Structure 1
C-alpha cells in the first residue's frame, strides 16, 4: 500500500521536487537559511571578517584628470586577472547611460591590488570603415563584454572585448569579439577580431580591424586558436552571440543564460553559473552540459553570479542575494567545502553611497562581480580577489582573506604596532573610497580620513558575540569638516545599539550630550554594553534598538545612512549631486589601543 501511495504521489509532484543536491536538477544548493533584510544596505548578514573594499576609479565628469581622463560616468562590467606579478582590471565605459554610444573599454593595473594606476584605453570607440552604415534599428557603437582576459598555454596574455551596436548589443546587434596581446612591458599589440557575430554578415571586409589570422605573429595566432578551442572560456561569450553556427556546445533554449562563470567542484564536475540563479553541470570539460535549471535556494536577480574554488581548497559563490533588479545590494559570498553545498553567508561589500550621476539603468549598489578565473595565474597571497562596479559608476575591488570567517572568538586587543604603515589591517573590515583613505600610519595608529562630501571612510572590528561588553580605545580628532565622526556598536545584523557621535567639540551618546573633546588631543573612550543599557563615563542610556547581543564595532567618518533604499527612484531624471566632483576640506581621525572584552 505504501509503495502504491509513493507511485501515485510521484505522478503529481514535479521531478525537480525530488532533486538531489549536486545532481543535474540542483547542481549547487544553499542550506544556511538566511535571507536578505531589504531594509539594510548590508542585508542583515554577518561580515566576511577582514575584507577590504578598495575604490579603483571614482567617476568625475568635470575634473576627468583625477579619474580616467575622459569624464565619463557610466562605468561597469569589470573583469580582472593576475599575470606576471601584476593585477589587470578591464571595464567598459560610456558617457552617462547604459548601452548608449559612444563606448570604449579601459584597463587599469596594480602591483598589489590595493593601489591602482590611472586607466588606459584598451579598445577605443568603434569607427566603422568608410561606406559601412549602421544598420537599422541601431544608432551607434558600444562595447559589451562578459570576459576580459585569457592566459594562453604559450604564456601570452590576451585581452578581449565585444564590439556591438546600440541599443541592443546581443545577437543581430553584435559585431564581434576583439582581441589584442598584453605585453610584459605594459604595452599592447594591434587589435584584431577573433570571432564575428553569427547573427549578421560581418567579416574582415566590412569591419574596422583585421581578422586575427592575418597577424604575422605566430605565437599570438596560436594563443588565439587555443582560446577558440577552449569550450569553458568561450562559454562566457554565449549571451552576446548565441552561436547559430554551432560554436557553443551548450544549447540555451531559455535565452536567459547570461554572464557565465564556472568552476570545478571537488568531484571534478564543472559547474556553470548564470544570472537569475541558473546553473548546469558538465562531466567532460564543457563538451556537453546538463539542461540549465534555476536553483531555488539561490535568490538573485539580473546581477552577475560568480563561483570559484578558493586558495584554501574551499569554494565560494558571490552575488546580490535579493530579487530586486534596480537595487543590487549587498554583495555577499557563500562558502562551502565541496562546491555543491554552501552553508554560510558573509558580506563582502555592504555600502551603498549616493549615486552622483543619474543615468539610464544605473542600478544602485555593488554588482556585476567577477574574480580571477580558474586556470589563470594567481597572486601569492591567501586572499580571494573580486571586482565589481558600485551604482554602475565607480569601479571597486575587494580583498577577502581566506578562509572566509564570519564570527570571532576570544578578546580583541589591537594596538597596530606590528602592522607596517600602509599594509593591510588584519581582522578589520575596511571601506575606503578614493577620497577617504583608511590606513595604519607611521606611528602605528589606525587613521581614517575623509574629503568626500557624499561618501565616508569606515573601519569595522568584529568581536565575539555577547550580551555584555566593555569596549575601550584611544581617539584623536586631528581635524574635522562638516561631517561628524560616528562610532557604532551593532548586533550581528547591523542593528545599532550605541552611537557615539563627535562633532564640533561635542560628544553625544545615542543623541544625548555626554561630554566634549578637543581637536588634536587624545581622548580615552570606554563604552559599556550591558544588555540593552549603554554607558559612557557618567552617561547612561537605552539602546537605539533592542537586540539579543552585540558583535561589531564601527568607526565612520560620516553619518549613518540607509538611503538609497528599495523605494528610491532609480530612473527619475535629476542633475548631478552638487559639488560631487570637488573634494572638501579633509577630516582626519586617529584610533589606537582598541580593547574589547
Structure 2
C-alpha cells in the first residue's frame, strides 16, 4: 500500500519549467534555464568586483583575513576513535552550526569510509567558547529498513531555534546509495535540551513521492504524536518557515506544493529594505520579498566561480555582508571570504582557511580542502562577540570551525607594535594573530609560572599536521622583528617565515630536529648554530635593513649567527607577515593514500613565544 505524506497543507503549485531552477543538472543546462525567462534579464544581486583568479597553493596566494582562528573540532581516527559511541568513521562532512543558551551547537554526517556508505548517522557536539569541544555523540542514528539496508542521513540544514526557545535539530533519512535524490524516506526531528540531553526522535515530514513506502518510516512516530505541546509548536513553526525549509527540497524533491523553489544548500541574508538575497549551490542566486513564499531567479552570481561546494552568505554584526566560498571552479581550497557594504558588490577576497594537510584516509568522492562551509543562520543564535563563526570539513574527514573577526580586514596600519600576551587573549587564543589549531597541535596563551609571565604556546604531537600562528604587520620593504623563543626539546622542528601578500617566503628559518639552527640563503639551508632545550632566546630578524637589496640578517641573543647576510629565497618586493609553525612548510597536502600511522600521536614538542615586537618599514641603518 502506498501512502502520501500527511503534510498537504499547501495545494500543489503549478511551476513554469522555464523559471524553476532544478539544481544538479549540467552547467550548460543551468545556463540555458537561467536565461530562458519571460522577463528582461535581471542583474544578479551578488557580484564580485573583478574576475577571480587564485593559485593552486593551499591559501590560493591570498592574504589572510586578519585574526582568523581555525579550530579543529573533531579529528577522524580509525584506530583509536574518541567518539562517545565508538564511531571509527573516516568520512566526516557537512557540519551545521547554531548558538543557543551560551553554547555553540554543531552536528555533522559521518560514514565508515566513503561518501554515502551504509550506515551514515549524524553526530553532535557543543562548546561554550568555540575552542574546546565536547566529545561527539550520535544525534540521529542510522536505522535498518525492512529490506535490510541501513538509512543514510543527509542534511543541507539542521538547527532551528523556535519562537518558544526550543532548539530543534533535523536530518533526512535517505536510501543507499543516493540519500538526496528524491527517493528517500523523510525528515526527522528531535529537541536538544539545555543540559545537552536529547528528546525523542520523530518524523517531521515524509517524502511524498508516489513510491513512498510507510514501512520504511516505521522506526519513529510522526511529530504530532508527541505529548509535548511546546515541542509540537516548535515543529509547526519550523514547517511554516519557508526560508529554513527551502533547504530541505533537495532530499525529498516533492511536488506536493510544500516547496516554493528547487535548489541546493541555500544561504541567505536580509537587505535593509526587507528583501532576502539567497545564494545556492553552483553560485545560483534568487531573491524573495515575502520571506520565501515566492522567489525571483536572478541567474548566477557575477564573477563568482561556479563550484559544487557550498557558499555561505551572511549579514555580519558590524552591518557589512560576507560571502564565504571556495574561489575556484573545481578545487575546494582555500576557504575564502569576500565582503560588501551594500550586500551586492563584494571585493577584498581573503583566505579564511589557507592550510591543506595530507588526507589521511582515501575514499570515494572525498575531495581535498576546507569545504561545505556553513555559518549561523539568521535566527539561530548570536554569539557574544561581534565575529563571524563558520564550520566546514577538511578533506571530508575532519570537522573545523573558524572565528573571523568583524570587520574583516587584511591590512595593518600601526607601524610598531608589541605583543606580550599578558592581556591580548580571547578564549585562550591571542587576539590579532591568525591561528591554525589542530586538536593534536594546540595553540594557547599560557602562564609560564616564571618571570616571563604569559606566553604563546605551540605544542605538537600530530604526525601529519602542525600548529601555525601568523602576525600581519604593515606592508613594506623592510621590517625589524624581535621575539623571545623557548624550545622544550631539541628533537622537534620549528619553522619561521617572513612572507609577502601572496605567500612568497623571502625569509625562511628553521630550528631543526637535531638541535641545529638554519636559515635559507637563495634557497640553500645555511648553518646558524645550535640551540639548547629549556632556555629562552632573543630572536631578531632584520629584513632588508637597507630596503633595496633583498636580504636579511638573523641574530640570536644579540649575536649574528650567519657568516654572511642571507639573500632572499623567494624574491618579494615587500613583506607583511610573520609565520611560526611546528613543522615543515607545505605548499599543499596530498590525498588518496592511506596513512595508518597518522592515527597515533608522536612525541610531544612544545614551543613558547613571547614579547613579539615588529617595526615595519624601518628606516635604513647607518
Q: With the length of structure 2 as denominator, give the TM-score of the two structures.
A: 0.86
Q: Which residue of 2 aligns with 1:536?
A: 554
Give the gaps of 5 or more residues in structure 2: 1-31, 36-40, 448-452, 616-622
Structure 2 residue 116 is matched with structure 1 residue 99: yes
Change (3 A) 1:553 1:456: same
1:56-71 to structure 2, matched below 5 A, reads 56-65=73-82, 69-71=86-88
Structure 2 residue 529 is matched with structure 1 residue 515: yes
Q: Which residue of 2 aligns with 1:216?
A: 227
Change (3 A) 1:15 1:100: closer
Instruction: Kindly state the Cα deviation for residue 206 of structure 1 after the two structures are TM-superposed.
Output: 4.1
Deviations 1:399-448 (A, max 9, x none): 11111111111222111122469623110000010010101111311111
Instruction: Kindly state the Cα deviation for residue 452 of structure 1 after the two structures are TM-superposed.
Output: 0.5
Q: Which residue of 2 aligns with 1:524?
A: 538
Structure 2 residue 500 is matched with structure 1 residue 491: yes
Q: 1:184 aligns with which of 171, 186, 194?
A: 194
What is the distance in 2 between the residues matched to 1:68 and 1:381? Answer: 33
Q: 1:237 aligns with which of 248, 261, 265?
A: 248
Q: Which residue of 2 aligns with 1:4?
A: none
Q: Which residue of 2 aligns with 1:409?
A: 413
What is the distance in 2 between the residues matched to 1:577 and 1:171? Answer: 33
Instruction: Kindly state the Cα deviation for residue 204 of structure 1 after the two structures are TM-superposed.
Output: 5.2
Instruction: Kindly state the Cα deviation for residue 184 of structure 1 after the two structures are TM-superposed.
Output: 1.6
Contact residue 45 and residue 298 of structure 2 kept, 8 A: no
Q: Which residue of 2 aligns with 1:10?
A: none
Instruction: Kindly state the Cα deviation for residue 535 of structure 1 after the two structures are TM-superposed.
Output: 1.6
Q: Which residue of 2 aligns with 1:8?
A: none
What is the distance in 2 between the residues matched to 1:379 and 1:535? Answer: 44
Contact residue 414 and residue 593 of structure 1 kept, 8 A: yes
Q: Which residue of 2 aligns with 1:453?
A: 463
What is the distance in 1 between the residues matched to 2:388 and 2:75? Answer: 23
Change (3 A) 1:477 1:422: farther
What is the distance in 2 between the residues matched to 1:51 and 1:447? Answer: 17
Instruction: Kindly state the Cα deviation for residue 470 of structure 1 after the two structures are TM-superposed.
Output: 0.9
What is the distance in 1 between the residues matched to 2:72 and 2:283? Answer: 28
Q: Which residue of 2 aligns with 1:198?
A: 208
Structure 2 residue 183 is matched with structure 1 residue 173: yes
- Secondary structure of the structure 2 residue equivalent to 1:286: coil
What is the distance in 2 between the residues matched to 1:203 and 1:25? Answer: 44
Change (3 A) 1:459 1:243: same
Instruction: Kindly state the Cα deviation for residue 182 of structure 1 after the two structures are TM-superposed.
Output: 1.1
Structure 2 residue 57 is matched with structure 1 residue 46: no
Q: Which residue of 1 aligns with 2:582?
A: 557
Change (3 A) 1:488 1:68: farther
Q: Which residue of 1 aligns with 2:440?
A: 435
Contact residue 481 and residue 614 of structure 2 kept, 8 A: yes
What is the distance in 2 between the residues matched to 1:336 and 1:558? Answer: 36
Deviations 1:124-159 (A, max 9, x none): 12222xxx326xxxx542111011111111111111
What is the distance in 2 between the residues matched to 1:262 and 1:439? Answer: 34
Structure 2 residue 342 is matched with structure 1 residue 317: no
What is the distance in 1 between the residues matched to 2:83 and 2:176? Answer: 29
What is the distance in 2 between the residues matched to 1:318 and 1:310? Answer: 12
- Secondary structure of the structure 2 residue equivalent to 1:536: strand
Instruction: Kindly state the Cα deviation for residue 363 of structure 1 after the two structures are TM-superposed.
Output: 0.7
Structure 2 residue 475 is matched with structure 1 residue 465: yes
1:150-169 to structure 2, matched below 5 A, reads 150-169=160-179
Q: Which residue of 2 aligns with 1:580?
A: 598
Instruction: Kindly state the Cα deviation for residue 296 of structure 1 after the two structures are TM-superposed.
Output: 3.1
Contact residue 93 and residue 393 of structure 2 kept, 8 A: yes
What is the distance in 1 between the residues matched to 2:215 and 2:533? Answer: 69
Length, aligned pairs only: 556
Contact residue 52 and residue 327 of structure 2 kept, 8 A: no
Deviations 1:344-369 (A, max 9, x none): 12211111111111111111110010
What is the distance in 2 between the residues matched to 1:266 and 1:596? Answer: 41
Q: Which residue of 1 aligns with 2:509?
A: 500
Q: Which residue of 1 aligns with 2:485?
A: 475
- Secondary structure of the structure 1 residue equivalent to 2:175: strand
Deviations 1:67-88 (A, max 9, x none): 8621111110000101111110
What is the distance in 2 between the residues matched to 1:578 and 1:221? Answer: 47
- Secondary structure of the structure 2 residue equivalent to 1:445: strand
- Secondary structure of the structure 1 residue equivalent to 2:506: strand
Structure 2 residue 128 is matched with structure 1 residue 111: yes
Contact residue 196 and residue 203 of structure 1 kept, 8 A: no
Q: Which residue of 1 aligns with 2:13?
A: none
Contact residue 182 and residue 253 of structure 2 kept, 8 A: no
Instruction: Kindly state the Cα deviation for residue 499 of structure 1 after the two structures are TM-superposed.
Output: 0.6
What is the distance in 1 between the residues matched to 2:303 and 2:254? Answer: 30
- Secondary structure of the structure 1 residue equivalent to 2:82: helix
Q: Which residue of 2 aligns with 1:307?
A: 313
Contact residue 183 and residue 252 of structure 2 kept, 8 A: no
- Secondary structure of the structure 2 residue equivalent to 1:70: coil
CA RMSD of aligned residues (A): 2.0
What is the distance in 1 between the residues matched to 2:541 and 2:313? Answer: 41
Structure 2 residue 290 is matched with structure 1 residue 284: yes
What is the distance in 2 between the residues matched to 1:295 and 1:421? Answer: 36
- Secondary structure of the structure 2 residue equivalent to 1:221: helix
Change (3 A) 1:34 1:544: farther
Instruction: Kindly state the Cα deviation for residue 227 of structure 1 after the two structures are TM-superposed.
Output: 0.8
Q: Which moved more, 1:386-395 or 1:217-226?
A: 217-226
Q: Which moved more, 1:299-308 or 1:417-426?
A: 417-426
Contact residue 519 and residue 528 of structure 2 kept, 8 A: yes
Structure 2 residue 608 is matched with structure 1 residue 590: yes
Q: 2:272 aligns with which of 266, 269, 272?
A: 266
What is the distance in 2 between the residues matched to 1:219 and 1:115? Answer: 31
Q: Which residue of 2 aligns with 1:7?
A: none
What is the distance in 1 between the residues matched to 2:85 and 2:198? Answer: 18
Contact residue 388 and residue 397 of structure 1 kept, 8 A: yes
What is the distance in 1 between the residues matched to 2:34 and 2:253? Answer: 27
Deviations 1:134-192 (A, max 9, x none): 6xxxx542111011111111111111001001111123431111001111222111111
